[in-house]
A and B are shown apart, each in its own frame.
Chain A
């Protein structure tokens, strides 16, 4: 097990190294240099521009800049955000908990709901329930996240006014509320973005779970259980579902990049103060350092998540540890 973990962790580090290298070269392939935005102003004398260039190390050879870029990332330094006038690390530290809250809730509900729905479908394959659910999940899984989120916000926030339109907390009232009411306030703001993410991701999980369960459902030991008179419910939850969960753990790791991508759109639509919205804002303000910092940090989070998925897989399936 230790060897498996070590190998897997080394892979994650390699992934991060590749991402850091890629972002560095993207930055340097781009036309102009990072100071153009501030230094193209004619009122800034050229010696100031040169001193800025020296200060940010842009006068150094590429190899040295690259080494600094890598050591900076290792030390948690991601440069300076020109739009927020603060270090990028600080800006990201403020919003990452919000994204983790949103994603954590969405993933938990999507996987819990998707696993249950998929299992129920697989256990009653080709029943009317299964066909309706399959048609629904197939459709839901293709909905573009930004379109669904816009529609959800239109119906439930603008028209029905059940839930708030945007943000994480009520801007006027939040500080005046009691602690319990503050939590409720955040939950009310989370509801619609989480719902949008869950509808799409949950449908995808349900489709995988259904397929995985169908495979197991025809195994001999499940049929033996049927012959021995084990009731449907126990065959489903006790016999079949346990083995059908393994592929879902794999899916958990694979789904992380696209879930993070979905969060970019959902956060933008609902003005949720998270890392995806931060990236879009940074992009609009041409704040390279911020955008690249977000890419590196989210890739790190994704790498960590898929490492976790593999460890879980190793725990659940002894064959993985030795394979």
Chain B
């Protein structure tokens, strides 16, 4: 059976990379492999610039993202004074995009952290306990994965109405763990059969100790890959919700909500939607490349393609 593992799994299976029993990550050797990988280095550099821009936004942004100037400067095309142009209420688009990085990235990181935690706990519990509990969890996860994500989020939003940014993180995070749980469950179920687990049991280790000390460390690699893929995925999910008008509440603006604000003026002012979109695409692309290379470096069978 062919083994298909491109990073674009993210686009399909709700960011569940296929189950592969990777060895536990050895940070030193891993870094040695990755350091020689030019694609990885450039993707990491791009990410560094974007994360740096988000962290140092107040220093880097030329204007206050909410500052409004006199109305003669509204909807100006990109120029030396406003690199990314200005919007209908004269705000500087570059400053908005730089500050938008903060919102978009923060939401994505927190949502990934949340979904990884839930997914790991659920998946490890199911895989380790086994039996009918495992079967039940596995079936439920399959069911949840078959619901289109956007529609699931929309239905929750329809019931709760306007959400704070904090609630949005919780919502995106708590609907994003199914893929992780499936991945972790598969890994744990496979690890449970391994000799070193049997050996530790033979030496008298109890369930919890076996799970935490012997099984969980082996999950580091697949979780690392899932986490990087997840960040890109979450950025897009949040942007999509904000684009539909159900995401980050005003006055905060993520890349998705900046695109939404500019959509009305798209015909006359392309820069309102083009630049936040490019920032989004560049970030997600860099994250996906990092994830892809990381997987290639972690998986001994798959040599990194040139």
Contacts and interface: CB of A to CB of B under 8 A. Distances in A.
Interface of A: 11, 14-15, 18-19, 22-23, 26-27, 29-31, 126, 138-139, 141-147, 150-151, 154, 158-159, 200, 203-204, 207-208, 210-212, 215-216, 243-244, 246-247, 251, 254-258, 260-261, 264-265, 268, 276, 279-280, 282-284, 286-288, 291-292, 294-295, 298-299, 302-303, 306
Nearest to A243: B2
Nearest to A200: B11
A146 B259 contact: yes
A283 B232 CA distance: 26
A287 B152 CA distance: 15
Interface of B: 1-8, 11-14, 139-140, 142-152, 154-161, 232, 236, 239-240, 243-246, 259, 263, 266-267, 270, 273-274, 277, 280-281, 284-285, 288-289, 305-306
Contacts of A251: 4, 12
Given A15-B142, A257-B149, 11 more contacts: A15-B146, A30-B159, A30-B160, A138-B8, A146-B244, A147-B273, A211-B4, A254-B13, A264-B244, A291-B155, A294-B151
A144 B280 contact: yes
A264 B285 contact: no
A19 B145 CA distance: 10
A257 B239 CA distance: 18
A22 to B, nearest CB: 8
A44 to B, nearest CB: 21
Contacts of B13: 254
A146 B243 contact: yes
Binding site of A, secondary structure by majority: helix, strand, loop or mixed? helix
Nearest to B292: A138
B240 A247 contact: no
A14 B17 CA distance: 24
B239 to A, nearest CB: 6
Of B146, B236, B266, B284, most buried by chain A (CB within 10 Å of CB) is B146
Contacts, number: 181
Contacts of A294: 151
Contact of B155 (A26, A142, A159, A243): A26
Given A204-B11, A257-B14, A298 B6 contact: no
A306 B263 CA distance: 35
A176 to B, nearest CB: 28
A45 B14 CA distance: 48
Contacts of A276: 151
Contacts of A292: 155, 158
Contact of A11 (B142, B158, B289): B142
Nearest to B3: A215
A247 B259 CA distance: 36
Nearest to B152: A295
Contacts of A208: 4, 6, 8
A147 B259 contact: yes
Contacts of A210: 6
Nearest to B149: A261
A146 B161 CA distance: 22
Contacts of A264: 148, 150-151, 154, 244
B281 A204 contact: no
Nearest to A290: B158
The 7 closest A-B pairs by CB, nearest first: A30-B159, A18-B143, A261-B150, A147-B277, A15-B143, A215-B2, A260-B148
A144 B156 contact: no
Contacts of B145: 257
A150 B245 CA distance: 15
